Amino acid sequence: MSGVIRAILGYYFLVFMMRIAGRRPGRQMAPVDFILVFFSGGLILTTTVGDDRSFVNAAAQIAAICAAHYMLVVLRSRYPAMGRIVDGTPLVLLEHGRWRHKVMESMLIEDADVMSSARDQGVENLEQIDYAILERNGQISVITKDSE
Amino acid sequence: MPAIHDTRPIEDSVPKINDELAVGSDLQFQQRWEKLESIIWIFLFIFLLLSLAGLFGRGPLSNVTAQAPDASMQVDYERFERFSTPSVLTVRVNPASIKNGQLQLWVSDSLVKPLGNQRVIPQPERSELGAGGITYTFPAFESSASIEFQMQPSAIGKSELKMRIPGNSELDLNIYVMP
């Protein structure tokens, strides 16, 4: 199989697996998430490179991955449904002083993760939070009661 | 003259929660996605089990021993090979097949392509092309002998490998090369 095809398949396979693996990357990445990302990347590298260590192969594969990524981004911006499949949808974690615990469980997010993001925004305790939203990029946005 | 910019008015395009905060959340999609995710996890788990069992190579389901109908030889091989990955096929020869201090073994062309034979151990005394394959001649004593073919498949899919000790019955092997 051509190295270019292997690179494209490897790219889409990793996009798929990272989407399935649950907790979203982004600002919420913990060391354990880094292991998943880098270990998977290293493993897919062995099959995409194979025994062809030439510059031409590397250049062709990088071009292929860039094209595959560009296509995904274009599809994502043109079709909202594609955006939801690739990135998911923003999810409300906390609303008017109450946790949406089922959403949190399914996204493997804990109270401490929300509080960690809240502290970044100068919030001192959970009671001050009106809304906490898990964004598509993995960041948790916090809207405080004062900011209304 | 002022610059003309393409603009459009702000619309209520991002769905709100409690009619106050524009989040754009889609809980229905999320619930459908979670169902799909659980189905995908089941498939991944089955894939993992089959992989451990050797259905995709390198496992108990893959390692096979085949014998020629007249018991002139036995072959240990991997039924499921992996693309561009080294493997070993071992032929164990019945001592009765050794004649005049020589052992001859005919192997079909598929050994070279697509199965990618890299090396034969021991080194044959002669290799002759013909009859849709290669006939190897090894110096041998009248005791059981084994020959090892080190392979590295170069194509994906099913390959038929035929082997025969001249004057004896043929052994047909089906080898599946995984991507």
Mean pLDDT of chain B: 91
3-state DSSP call for residue B29?
helix
Contact B164, B170 (CB under 8 A): yes
| Same domain membership, residue B133 and residue B51 | no
Same domain for B53 and B131? no
- The answer to whether position B2 is within a domain reads no
- Chain B: residue whose CA lies nearest to A133: B23
Mutate to test the interface with B, among A89, A92, A129 (most CBs of B within 10 A): A89
Structural domain boundaries, residue B53: 29-61
Residues B57 and B112 in one domain: no
Domain spans of chain A, in order of start: 3-87, 91-144
Domain A91-144: give its CATH superfamily. Answer: bsu07140 like domains (3.30.240.20)
| Average pLDDT rounded to a whole number, residues B133-149 | 88
Please tell me if residue B19 touches chain A, with a CB cutoff of 8 Å: no
Instruction: Using a CB–CB cutoff of 8 Å, tell me whether B178 touches chain A.
Output: no
C-alpha to C-alpha distance for A63 and A42, rounded to whole angstroms: 19
Q: Which residue ranges in chain A fall short of pLDDT 70?
A: 1, 22-28, 147-148
Q: Check whether residue B93 and residue B173 sit in a common domain.
A: yes
Given a cut of 80, whether residue B4 has pLDDT beyond it is: no
Q: Which residues of chain A have a CB within 8 Å of the CB of B21?
A: 131, 143
Whether omega before B122 lies within 30 degrees of 0, making that bond cis, reads yes
Contact A1 B33 (CB under 8 A): no
pTM reported for the whole predicted model: 0.80
Our count of domains for chain B comes to 2
Contact A89 B84 (CB under 8 A): no
Residue B84 has pLDDT above 60, yes or no: yes
Q: Which of B25, B33, B179 sits opposite A92 (nearest CB)?
A: B25
